[in-house]
């Protein structure tokens, strides 16, 4: 037997406590009666039956003990239940290039992107998620998993030092993301690309064609502002020590490049969104994901313990009602009124 709320059973200590109070009250009553005369004669004169009173209290205390067990929700006896999981395979590709340190969104683009991914993970239910970090190259930070806690741990580890190669190569990112899908089935896979769109290279035509062939939709979330801001340079502690400069010692400004991301999303039947403070783009993405066909991950039969609190609840109320129905008075003819001489 198991209990859903085992801590409730601690209330059972009230039963012996109340029993002790009852015994103490009975002894105190009899002690006071001794002051008025012989106890046996007084008992015979009394209209109250000690045995009935004791039986009534005992039955009610037993009912209380059983009601406490009912509140703890005992479970025993098993039934077979089939559990199946359906969902999508989601790979989140996260830009970790130096331009993601730009502070045109609070506190910077990378932290905003990680916050978006964290919110995404919190909303998932039954979908597998994987993480790809990319800059000048890309690698799988977290393989596809249903363990959302593990995915959060991998997400927390991502920073601009995760990829030693500088730059932003969206083509390599998409290739790595597409290769991280393990299933051959189509219609169940989505890539969510989160970047400022500063792509250093040719448009990823081959990767887009492969995504279309595999039925993978790419949703793009643009991080940053289109008017841009300078790119900070940080030391080993993460403190800003200056700003990136070009060959003419002028600050390098990083802007959100919308066109490339819009084109990638449109060609793969996904959508482009610019990140907002309220993360409204995640609401829109989830509405789209809910409309997609989902694959069957697994099905298994498990034994589930049955709730049996109803039995204890019914028995407890019956005992308390039975106790209340017992009268403490002696039956007619059992009360001795004495005889005058």
Model pLDDT for residues 77-92, shown as the tens digit of each residue: 666 555 556 678 899 9
Task: Pick the more confident residue, 132 or 45.
Answer: 132
Distance CA 330, CA 158 (A): 81
Distance CA 34, CA 48 (A): 16
When pLDDT is averaged across residues 14-36 and rounded to a whole number, the result is: 79
pLDDT band per the 50, 70, 90 thresholds, residue 32:
low
For the record, the structure tokens of 341 come out as 């001489």
Task: Pick the more confident residue, 256 or 50.
Answer: 256
When pLDDT is averaged across residues 252-267 and rounded to a whole number, the result is: 91
Q: Quick one: which of 259, 297, 299, 257 has its CA closest to 90? A: 297
When pLDDT is averaged across residues 215-225 and rounded to a whole number, the result is: 93
Distance CA 22, CA 19 (A): 5
Q: Would the pLDDT of 3 be above 50?
A: yes
pLDDT band per the 50, 70, 90 thresholds, residue 270:
very high
Q: Would the pLDDT of 41 be above 90?
A: no
Residue 43 makes CB contacts below 8 A (sequence gap 6+) with: 50
Number of residues that this document lists for the chain:
341
b vs e for 88-108, b when ≥16 Cβ sit within 10 Å of the residue's Cβ?
bbbbbbbbbbbbbbbbbbeeb
Task: Pick the more confident residue, 231 or 112.
Answer: 112
Q: Would the pLDDT of 17 be above 60?
A: yes
pLDDT of residue 335: 47
User: 0.85 cut: is pTM over it?
Assistant: no
| CB-CB contact of 129 with 144 (8 Å) | yes
pLDDT band per the 50, 70, 90 thresholds, residue 36:
low
Residue 324 makes CB contacts below 8 A (sequence gap 6+) with: 56, 60
pLDDT of residue 340: 42
Question: What domains can you pick out in the chain, each with its CATH number?
Answer: 2-78+305-325 (no CATH), 89-293 (3.40.50.410)
């Amino acid at each position: 037997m198991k209990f859903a709320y085992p801590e409730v059973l601690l209330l059972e200590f009230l039963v012996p406590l109340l029993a002790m109070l009852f015994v103490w009250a009975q002894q105190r009553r009899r002690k006071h009666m001794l002051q008025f005369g012989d106890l046996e004669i007084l008992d015979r004169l009394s209209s109250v039956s000690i045995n009935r009173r004791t039986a009534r209290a005992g039955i009610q205390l037993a009912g209380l003990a059983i009601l406490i067990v009912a509140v703890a929700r005992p479970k025993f006896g098993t039934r077979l239940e089939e559990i199946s999981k359906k969902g999508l395979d989601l790979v989140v590709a996260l830009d970790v290039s130096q331009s993601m340190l730009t502070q045109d969104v609070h506190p910077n683009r990378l932290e905003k992107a990680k916050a978006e991914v964290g919110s995404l993970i919190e909303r998932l239910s039954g979908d597998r998620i994987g993480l790809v970090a990319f800059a000048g190259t890309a690698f799988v930070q977290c393989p596809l998993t249903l363990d959302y806690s593990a995915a959060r741990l991998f997400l927390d580890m991502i920073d601009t030092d995760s990829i030693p190669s500088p730059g932003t190569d969206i083509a390599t990112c998409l290739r790595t993301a597409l290769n991280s899908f393990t299933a051959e089935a189509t219609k169940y896979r989505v890539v969510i690309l989160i970047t400022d769109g500063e792509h250093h290279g040719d448009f990823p035509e081959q990767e887009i064609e492969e995504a279309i062939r595999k039925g993978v939709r790419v949703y793009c979330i643009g991080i940053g502002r289109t008017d841009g801001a300078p790119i900070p340079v940080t030391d080993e502690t993460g403190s800003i020590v200056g700003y990136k400069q070009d060959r003419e010692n002028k600050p390098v400004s990083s802007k959100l490049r919308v066109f490339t991301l819009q084109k990638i999303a449109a060609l793969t039947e996904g959508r482009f969104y610019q990140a907002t403070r309220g993360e409204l783009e995640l609401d829109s993405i989830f509405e789209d994901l809910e409309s997609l066909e989902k694959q069957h991950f697994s099905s298994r039969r498990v034994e589930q313990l049955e709730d049996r609190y109803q039995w204890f609840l019914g028995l407890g109320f019956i005992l308390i009602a039975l106790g209340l129905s017992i009268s403490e008075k002696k039956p007619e003819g059992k009360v001795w009124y004495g005889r005058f001489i």
